[in-house]
Amino acid sequence: MSQTLTRHGPALLRRAVVGVIAAAALAATALLPLAVPYPARAVDAADQTAPVFGVNMSLFDSGDHLATDSATQALFAGWGTPTVRVPLRATYPTTKAALQDADWLTAMKAVQKVGATPVVILRGPGGGRTTADIKATDSHLMDLVHQVFHDSTVYLEFGNEPDYAGVGVADYTAAWNAVIPTLKAQYPNLDYRFVGPVLSRSDGTSADYIATFAASADPAPDALSWHEYVCDTTVKADGSGGWNNPGSPGDTCTTHLLNWQKHVTTIENKVTSELGHPLDYFISEWNIDASDQGAAYTSTHAPDLATWTKAAVNELRSLSPAPAGAMIYTATDHGNFGLVTGSTTLTAQGSAFHDAMGGGSGGGPGGGSVTVGFEDGTSDNWSGFYGGANPVVTTDVAYEGSHALRFSLSSSGHSAVGTSNNLGAVRTGSTVTYHVYAAQSATTVTPFVRDKNYTATMAGSVVLTPGQWTTITWTVPSVSSVGAIGLDASSGTGTVTIDALTWPTP
């Protein structure tokens, strides 16, 4: 059953909610676009990212990019995404259409394509469902889980945010004790791990709810889970609210990050008091604001959100004991939430998240990397390719240091700059990063590679946000050889500035 949520006043439409609550999607507002690598960087097992870099799949409609788009899947595979949380929804929140087995299978197979460990949300108590209903539905979903993942490790959350749906700990635990033994008996010899109580928060009395559940659950949970959001940045009808003075000492969105360790410690102490030992835990959703209407997710606060995201990741990495996993909400396709918009375009938060993972270095296939920063006052062997680009070194703006390279747009057609220098390790699949700036609006830029016969192959285009640096990370498409790389700009008046250019070297 789906219903529209209200929280903090305005309609709050958010998060992966399965069998307990689902929300209607809102139209997205502007996000800072950043092109991302595709095909994505291959990641060896030894190079997997920390467990805090998991993601949620929204599955708000049948076109969810992570579920259905091979380019999006390849992107997250290239990041080495450790876990993907999948809501096996009853209906799509945007259309109210019922999901079928084929839809659930598609979503779970996407996790396989990413190469991540699945965290699957089963039905739980709430919404008027009886224990018999839950048991029958979840038993069927378990068969689908087995059809996809076979004997791989799967984490299975029993419901989602029962506290927010008004399900008390006694009722949640009773449902767990009635349903989970049946589910465990379906595949008793496989590594299917059951997780609860999946609370919407972990402050206040939530720690008591979690500890009471842990003490009374039979069978015992394989892990606990809860969600962490730190502040409300929605703008109220009277104009109040929003995100004021981001990063300042009075900014609760930043200062409340410190509460995450307090929550972990409190829950661990209470659970240990009940059981005599702690349990593993997941923070299966986290972000700054539980509402996709929050001002934090608008383009106005894109740089602030990027800074906050890196601070949040640092906090997650420092938690003791460390979580078994943490999954940001969300990967794609839920209003203003999302690391990616479209198939392979990073939002500001997506870029910060990728950077925090250790991405954005441009290493990719081919060994080390080189950064061209123009700090010696020369063009570093970058030149105009066409359209009267006439590149010159400038000190007016710079992404890092004090120098950058500026080239002119052409009112009669496209213009471009590029280089054929130091490209010996660049090949199909290599990752290249540019930082690009334009003061004027409506400028579209497109990275490209040119083979040794001077045939150009274009990567994805990006519309620059005026007055801001845009990070463009792209993957060299399939080419027979690499003779040059560059950046094309659409027709117009004004200039484009590039800085901190990175690509592989031997």
Given a cut of 60, is residue 26 above it in pLDDT? no
Mean pLDDT across the stretch 223-235? 97
Poorest-confidence range of 38-47, 287-296, 388-397, 428-437?
A: 38-47
| Residue keyed to tokens 């835990």 | 281
Neighbours of 47 (CB within 10 A): 10
> Is the per-residue pLDDT at 46 higher than 60?
no
In DSSP terms, 2 is beta-bridged to none
- pLDDT given for residue 27 in this prediction: 30
- CATH number, domain 368-505: 2.60.120.260
**Mean pLDDT, residues 123-130:** 95
Placement of tokens 């409300």 in the chain = 232
CATH class of 34-356: alpha beta
CA distance 122 to 193: 12
The DSSP bridge partners found for residue 227 are: 285
Q: Measure Cα distances from 284 to 57, 221, 326, 428, 478 in Å.
A: 11, 15, 5, 35, 37
Distance CA 23, CA 333 (A): 13
Report pLDDT for 506: 63
3-state secondary structure 194-254: EEEEEECCCCCCHHHHHHHHHHHCCCCCCEEEEEEECCCCCECCCCCECCCCCCCCCCHHH
Q: Name the residue with higher pLDDT: 248 or 358.
A: 248
Report cis status (omega within 30 of 0) of the bond before 219: yes
Whole-number pLDDT of residue 361? 34
Give the bridge partners for 446, in sequence order: 488
Q: What is the pLDDT of residue 460?
A: 85
pLDDT (average), residues 211-222: 98
Per-residue confidence band for 52, with pLDDT thresholds at 50, 70 and 90: very high
Q: What pLDDT sits at residue 34? A: 36
What confidence tens digit (pLDDT) does each residue in 163-207 have?
A: 999 999 999 999 999 999 999 999 999 999 999 999 999 999 999
Residue with tokens 């048991």: 135
Within 319-384, where are the H helices?
348-356
Which tens digits make up the pLDDT trace of 255-287?
Answer: 999 999 999 999 999 999 999 999 999 999 999
pLDDT computed for residue 49 by the predictor: 52
Please state the pTM of the whole predicted model. 0.68
Query: For residue 40, what pLDDT is reported?
Result: 27
State residue 474's pLDDT score: 86
**Could you tell me the residue ranges of all domains in the chain?**
34-356, 368-505
Asked whether this chain's domains 34-356 and 368-505 adopt the same fold, the reply is no
> What is the distance, to the nearest Å, from the Cα of residue 326 to the centroid of all Cα atoms in its chain?
11
38 compared with 373, residue with greater pLDDT: 373
Convert the pLDDT of each residue in 389-440 to its tens digit: 999 999 999 888 889 999 999 999 999 999 998 888 888 878 888 999 999 9
In the chain, how many H helices and how many E strands? 10, 23
C-alpha distance from residue 405 to each of 440, 459, 490 (Å): 16, 21, 17
